[in-house]
Amino acid sequence: MTDAQSFYGRWARVYDWLASVPGVASWRDRTAAALALDPGDTVVEMGCGTGANVPALRERVGPAGRIVGVDVTREMLDRARDRPARTGGSVHYVQADASRPPVRGADAVLATFVAGIFEDPAAAVDAWCDCVASGGRVALLNFQRSQSALAAPLNLAFEGFVRLSAPGTRLSTRSHASAFERRVRAARERLTARTVDRRYETMAGGFVGLLSGTVT
């Protein structure tokens, strides 16, 4: 069992509650919007957790669209599967390692609050881009320290936030926040290298960043 599986297996119920608090829904909606989905499209979510993005995705792909959720933690998928009403109908959930996703030819891929977990985030992003048909979009949503001067006190709290929320303590440096941000940066750099028509936006006072692009 990986660090992520034991961490999220233990915290699935609490995570499910946190994942759906009001306010977070608008970040999820903007992420789904960045994918430029059409009705009938196939969208794959890497590290889908308890399915909190599904309503925003279903709204865009419609009843004929296909949503595939890939996650390595059985307890998170169990919660997602228990919520057909919230997730608006049938979703194909697959328990698998998202760094080797068992999918090809999708119209879009998203990974929200996931890239910072991977030891080799650039390789994971490569695999995600390879899942998407040419012209499809990939979106990464992540927490980060804010660049805003007003956010300085909260940036101090970011270290504690990462220590509590990042599975495992293999972020082998004194600053977990820095290690976490290095991973997110590596993921974003690889997405930048693999895509055109990129869009970057921040939310929550700069503490959440969304990068999306079109795979060539």
Ligand X SMILES: C[S@@+](CC[C@H](N)C(=O)[O-])C[C@H]1O[C@@H](n2cnc3c(N)ncnc32)[C@H](O)[C@@H]1O
By beta carbon distance, the residue nearest ligand X is 49
Q: In the bound complex, what is the minimum distance in angstroms from residue 38's beta carbon to ligand X?
A: 22
Beta-carbon contacts of residue 175 (< 8 Å; ≥ 6 apart): 159
The residue type found at 110 is: L
Nearer CB in complex with ligand X: 47/209: 47
Instruction: Give the start-end residues of each E strand in the chain.
Output: 42-46, 66-71, 92-95, 106-112, 132-143, 195-203, 208-215
Nearer CB in complex with ligand X: 12/148: 12
Nearer CB in complex with ligand X: 101/136: 101
Report which DSSP code applies to 39.
T
Binding site for ligand X (CB under 6 A): 4, 8, 19, 47-49, 52-53, 70-73, 76, 97-99, 112-114, 117
Q: In the bound complex, what is the minimum distance in angstroms from residue 32's beta carbon to ligand X?
A: 11
Closest to 54 in 3D by CA, of 112, 7, 8, 101 = 112
Beta-carbon contacts of residue 202 (< 8 Å; ≥ 6 apart): 146, 208, 209, 210
Q: In the bound complex, what is the minimum distance in angstroms from residue 77's beta carbon to ligand X?
A: 8
Main-chain phi, psi angles of 130, to 5 degrees:
-70, -20
Nearer CB in complex with ligand X: 99/212: 99
Nearer CB in complex with ligand X: 24/36: 24
Q: In the bound complex, what is the minimum distance in angstroms from residue 97's beta carbon to ligand X?
A: 5
Q: In the bound complex, what is the minimum distance in angstroms from residue 152's beta carbon to ligand X?
A: 25
**CA-based Rg of the chain, rounded to a whole angstrom?**
16
